[in-house]
Amino acid sequence: MSVRQMTQRATQDALRTDRSAATVFRIMDQAVQQTSHVKQPLPSSSRMACAAGCCFCCYQPVDITVPEALAMAAYLRSRLAEKDFDTLRTRLAATTATLRDLSYEAHAQAKIPCVLLVDGACSVYPARPFACRAWNSTSVARCQEIFEHGDPITMIPPIEMDVYETIWDVAQGLIDGLKQARLDSTSYELHSVLQRALDTPDAAQRWVQEEDVFAGCTVGAFAA
Ligand code: SF4
């Protein structure tokens, strides 16, 4: 059975037996565990250049599903002090408003940092989206060149395909499972859907009960 099929089945099975907020977070935990199926390269053969403090790719549009947004919102609620949480929500609202008027292409060119990028690092790293887990590079120099002088839509850095494809399969398996469970499987623009998740404390419970909690959020460029 493929990673995609395993993720789809685990998602579908969990949602079949329990439609609670806890299940939403369980299907995310299960999906994240599936990313361990990436073949671990030997240390001497690993070509991954990604490291803390390198964030050229955190200025690009990111598509995420509702469970990913809910998991990030829960992570932020559990970590941030009230003042920092309010500050994040204010910044998130401003960025969402700016992005609402931009096409995917304009967003990609605008060099707007992800609102979760703090001091050059991802502030939700353990709960980051699958798109961010999958994207990687074997050349910092190439990433810097694309960021500073290139076209981020048509130019991509050299990547470790095993990492990219395995995590992409997990993300697709999650979407397959949501579809089977007749839940919203749309990929939304990160800021838009995260803002709604943070503004709606009971969003997970309502969404898993098929309430259209995320109506009006910006649909991502790669939404099926
Ligand atoms: S969620 Fe984290 S890794 Fe993804 S773009 Fe934002 S800061 Fe970067």
Tens digit of pLDDT for each residue in 12-55? 999 999 999 999 999 999 999 999 877 665 554 568 899 989 99
Which atom of ligand 1 lies closest to the CA of 72? 1
Per-residue pLDDT tens over the stretch 165-210: 999 999 999 999 999 999 999 999 999 999 999 999 999 999 999 9
Nearest CA, atom 4, ligand 1: 132
Residue 114 Cα, ligand 1 centroid: separation in angstroms? 6
Q: Three-state DSSP class for 34?
A: helix
Residue 183: φ, ψ to 5°: -105, 160
Q: Is the CB of 116 under 6 A from ligand 1?
A: yes
Q: Which of 54, 128, 133, 194 to mutate to test the pocket of ligand 1 (most atoms within 8 A of CB)?
A: 128
Determine contact, residues 165/85, Cβ cutoff 8 Å: no
Q: pLDDT by residue (tens digit) across 69-112?
A: 999 999 999 999 999 999 999 999 999 999 998 999 999 999 99
Cα dist from 108 to 20, 60, 114, 152, whole Å: 36, 5, 11, 7
Q: Is the Cβ atom of 114 under 6 angstroms away from ligand 1? A: yes
Is 132 near ligand 1, meaning CB less than 6 Å away? Answer: yes
State how far the Cα of 88 lies from the Cα of 97, in Å rounded to an integer.
Answer: 14
Give the whole-angstrom CA distance, residue 10 versus residue 26. Answer: 10
Distance CA 183, CA 52 (A): 35
- Is the CB of residue 124 below 6 angstroms from any atom belonging to ligand 1? yes
- Predicted confidence at residue 90, as pLDDT, reads 97
> What residues contact 165, with CB distance under 8 A and at least 6 apart?
none
- Domain chopping of the chain, boundaries: 3-12+48-208
CA 159 to CA 89: how far, in whole Å? 33
Query: Global pTM?
Result: 0.94
- In the structure encoding, which two tokens stand for residue 179, read together? 């579809």
